[in-house]
Amino acid sequence: MRYQNAYVWLVFVSVLDLLLTMFVLFLWGGYEVNPIAAAIIDHMGFLWAIVFKFGLIVLVIIICEILGRRHDPTGRRLATVAVIISAVPVAYTFAVLFHTSSTPIN
């Protein structure tokens, strides 16, 4: 594997996203913002959302490896961008949870 560090971060951030999604849906009574993930959860259940998420991770890794063999900087860039894109929902969820959990001082 060419970009192992990026892949580890991709899996870590994706698992964190799934855990936060589970907390938001089942503990805090929220909803899934991503319409594709929401449709999968609504029609097939949360387990299939996990399968979908890890299927996407495998697809990204395969594409990065194929691109990396042809042009290493492009494969590395794609792996980095995939981590950043996967981290956005996690950062957003943390921001929303922090904002909603803070209470104004009277």
Alpha carbons 10 and 18: distance in angstroms, whole number: 12
Q: Flag the least confident range among 25-29, 73-77, 88-92.
A: 25-29
Residue showing tokens 């904002």:
99
104 — pLDDT class (breaks 50, 70, 90): low
Element (H, E) at 6: helix 4-22
Q: Domain range spanning residue 77? A: 4-99
98 — pLDDT class (breaks 50, 70, 90): confident
Number of domains the chain contains = 1
Amino acid at 22: M
Q: Is residue 106 part of a domain?
A: no
List of residues 6+ apart from 66 with CB closer than 8 A: 75
Q: Is residue 91 part of a domain?
A: yes
Residue showing tokens 């990065």:
64
pLDDT at res. 96:
87
Alpha carbons 78 and 65: distance in angstroms, whole number: 10
Averaged pLDDT score across all residues of the chain: 93
pLDDT of 4-46, one tens digit each? 999 999 999 999 999 999 999 999 888 999 999 999 999 999 9
pLDDT at res. 105:
53
